Chains A and B, each alone.
Chain A
């Protein structure tokens, strides 16, 4: 088990103890439901435990569908509703296809917020709390540009990304290209659909075997390509190629520590679940979403809240959990005043 996992486990036990000691002040039973199993969502579990203890919720439980299938997620949500859960933070299995189940939940007096991914407007979700994926990719590319120093212009960069069926992938491709164009950098190749270990290994290694000498940098905007690229650079032993990855996989963080990866753009899954639990409880207690709330518009919704993103590099890699918590605290301060109207 990794240090991070140990810390999480220890914190879980502590939190469970505290939660057990404190009686629930609220009858909110929150379910945190991702689209399927993915390491990205692991932080939701701890965030739910922490939020339940912090806000005196009856529960804020992490519930994972067995597969990335809309039908499985829908069945799980219906089952949770029948078990008494009354607030749902959902990563929609499909931005449009998941709307009907959200309507069903709301029709049964439950509150719904989209987390990490959004429903397509119009939807019954109060709002969408997630990473501004385009912005994160843009900032990641800018960090890569910065790592080249004054000689960034004319550098060649390869972009490795995730599933093409994910609408965020195209946003990421566009954002990376935009930042590259602004800096006079050429994106020489985009390799996509490699968010599984085997194809990622095969394609990234094949690319590097043929072109490692022709590129100056790598940007990755999906979890598995980040892990595989970090391993590949370590294997080649090439610190000439600068890389900026995404997310907080232990392999990537270790590569940052060892100097094979310049940095990684962490998202804030912890904050999504923690703030989501808080907001769902508030909505259940009679608060409403402010009409003039400062939402951001993205490709799917006009009610988007950025849960934050930050570059983790060698200077702050050992405190990345604190960075996530700081981001969360920053959004939490003034969240109620900005987004909710409570009498």
Chain B
């Protein structure tokens, strides 16, 4: 197999081509699209959305779904902001505690699924309500405004006036996830459980423990996204996380993830996030009628998924003919 055909078979190749095409088309119609400020805005959106997508990707990897991603992110976000405002806890410690809360929420999801055997859909539907309820109980729908200057500086800061500082944790998370999934036994176990739970169990993999681990990581990533949103928005809004669900599935699916589990790609999921961000930006830049935005957005996501699926089908046909 030549290096080119190997690249052609990767999950990220199709989304990458879509990204390149989209950038060229949008740039042709909007000269400001590739301005440093706009690239920064784009990277800001990608940084947060990628963590949200990774949180769902980890659960898709084990063949399940997590409906509570947004609720965990929102709870971590208001915890982070609230701890700083009400108790005056320093930002790094508050962030660590908020991440711990996310990890704990995910752990609780995982343990309940593993112990009871009830579908992840049902369990996370219930915990979505619980985590959101705790959020509203704490905030009473009132935002936390006391975000310290160093958190605001982090949310507004950039490297070389181009790369937002909040993209750095996402980068670390992406590399870490890739390493976990494809270089460490724990990651292999996650993919094995997603591919065939029964076979994984017969191979000696502790399925319950693996499911719990995946959910704990998912909660941790969702909490990270919540913290980044607070740094970016500079307010601890109780509504953070409310509309993460569709994006969390869209990006991994555009990136070729198989919803039944066992197959995900960090790079392709990241490119899925980039595609959604490009579509969102394009709709703003091209002044699409606000009442048609959702229709166009949905249509373009379908096109992106379709192109990637077409590439996969062609590759499979090619493989069979060889």
Contacts and interface: CB of A to CB of B under 8 A. Distances in A.
A66 B284 contact: no
A5 B285 CA distance: 38
Given A197-B233, A206-B281, A211-B32, A42 B290 contact: no
Interface stretch (B34-42, B183-191, B196-204): B34-42
Contact of A197 (B32, B136, B237): B237
B178 interface: no
B239 A205 contact: no
B132 interface: yes
Interface stretch (B115-123, B142-150, B300-308): B142-150
B238 interface: yes
A42 B140 contact: yes
A41 B32 contact: no
A198 B290 CA distance: 17
B310 interface: no
Contact of B290 (A66, A191, A224): A191
Contacts of B42: 206
A41 B139 CA distance: 13
Contacts of B293: 192-193
Contact of B86 (A1, A164, A209): A1
A202 B280 contact: yes
Interface in A201-222: 201-203, 205-207, 209-211
Interface in B269-322: 277, 280-281, 284-285, 287, 290-291, 293-294
B242 A196 contact: yes
Contacts, number: 109
Given A2-B145, A39-B141, A235-B156, A202 B277 contact: yes
Contacts of B232: 201
B138 to A, nearest CB: 11
A38 B237 CA distance: 10
Contact of A193 (B38, B244, B294): B294
Interface in A178-200: 188-193, 196-199
Interface string B225-269: 000010011110111101110000000000000000000000000
A266 to B, nearest CB: 17
Given A1-B86, A210-B35, A231-B234, 12 more contacts: A38-B141, A39-B143, A64-B141, A193-B294, A197-B239, A198-B243, A198-B244, A206-B42, A209-B40, A210-B32, A210-B285, A228-B233
5 contacts: A1-B85, A5-B142, A210-B30, A231-B233, A251-B145
Interface of B: 30, 32-33, 35, 37-38, 40-42, 44-45, 48, 85-86, 129, 132-133, 136, 140-143, 145-146, 156, 229, 232-235, 237-240, 242-244, 277, 280-281, 284-285, 287, 290-291, 293-294
